Amino acid sequence: MNQTTSRATTAARISGETPTTVLTRSAARMLLIPTILIALATMFKGYADTGDGFSAGVIAALAIALQGVAFGAEEFERLPLVRYAPAGSFVGLLLALVVAFSPLLVGDPVMTHWPRAGEPVIHFGTLELLTAVLFDIAVFLIVFGFSVGTLATIARAQRRLAREQARETRKLAELAARSAMNAEGEQT
């Protein structure tokens, strides 16, 4: 049994959760990268050629949520994507505001995209580099960061509650042991 598996199983037992099976953890690990790649493909070439940042953010957040379900709250919080997701959400919000309001600097209406219709577009493979792509990336970052950040907050709260319950259980066990010792001492 590897160290990650034993930590996840131990953490699950301590917190009172049912540990997941090796098959569940293996499937979760194997699905992480393909699901993230599907999210990226959806973001850049979504349902209507420009992309779909919202759906991509939801798909990527579900991939990370699957890791949390399979490995528990402690391992979930160790993932780099989970630790930096809230910051990514703020970066996405800043990027969306820049894309939305930068046209005002040159006298164009809000949300004017460049290059305009009929102008040449820079291509990166089959991807057309438009400001709409930047906006999709911003939406992805906002949705992903908020979703994963919310899940991490819930996981932290559950871990805190489990620690407090374990602490209370230990205190009650100590009190019961002391009262049993006192009762024995009074009988003799």
153/151 Cα distance (integer angstroms): 5
Q: What is the mean pLDDT of residues 127-155?
A: 90
The two tokens of residue 8 are 């996840």
- DSSP assignment of 38-78 equals HHHHHHHS-TTSS--HHHHHHHHHHHHHHHHHHHHHHHHHH
Helix (H, G, I), strand (E, B) or coil at 180: helix
Quick one: pLDDT at residue 76? Answer: 87
- Dmax (CA) for the chain in angstroms is 99
Q: pLDDT: is 167 or 3 the higher one?
A: 167
Q: Where are the domains of the chain?
A: 3-112+131-187
Q: Would the pLDDT of 140 be above 70?
A: yes
Q: Reply yes or no on whether the pLDDT at 2 is more than 70.
A: no
Q: What's the confidence (pLDDT) of residue 32?
A: 93
Average pLDDT of the residues in 25-35: 94
Q: Crossing angle for the helix pair 3-15 and 131-187, nearest 10 degrees?
A: 60
Select the more confidently predicted residue: 104 or 185: 104
pTM of the model: 0.77
**In angstroms, rounded to a whole number, what is the distance separating the alpha carbons of residues 9 and 51?**
39
Poorest-confidence range of 11-25, 40-54, 68-82?
11-25
Query: SS3 of 16, please?
Result: coil
Mean pLDDT value across residues 161-182: 89
CA 184 to chain centre: 54
